[in-house]
Amino acid sequence: MTLIGAIRMCIQDSITPQDVEDVRHSLAAFGQYYEERYYARRSDRLGACLPVIHQLAHVADYLEIIGPMWAYSQWCMERMCGLIVTCAKNRFWANRQVRSSLTCLILLLTSGTETSR
């Protein structure tokens, strides 16, 4: 299995203990490949040792503890943060621009919905 295959398995609706082990082995193999290819145990390449590569070693542990990643991932929040950042075009008026853009977005998303009181 490849890195992409392991990621796809992590976000399935359900995951079996065998799937978790497959993910563990695939991510460990990717970590070893990355270390050999980019770090190569050379001090001048220490900058290539990114924390996210180390964090891959713990994904399978959390799959066992918490379950499939779709249940606790932050992709929706990351998307929202990305949208907010694109709203701020000017550093001086950033807060005003973000507030205005989010207000328009909320109005757009809620238009046509009826509320009962």
User: pLDDT tens across 51-96, in order?
Assistant: 888 899 999 999 999 888 887 777 778 887 887 788 777 777 888 8
Same domain, 82 and 62: no
Residue 117 confidence (pLDDT): 46
Same domain, 99 and 63: no
99: in domain: yes
The pLDDT mean for the chain works out to 85
Domain of 89? 75-110
CA distance 108 to 95: 20
Could you tell me the two tokens for 10? Answer: 């992590």
Q: Per the structure, how many domains does the chain have?
A: 2
Same domain, 53 and 81: no
116: in domain: no
34: in domain: yes
Give the mean pLDDT of 19-29.
96
Same domain, 30 and 86: no
CA distance 49 to 87: 33
**Quick one: 72 exposed, middle or buried, by C-beta within 10 A (0-12, 13-18, 19+)?**
exposed
Same domain, 10 and 37: yes
Q: Is 88 helix (H, G, I), strand (E, B) or coil?
A: coil
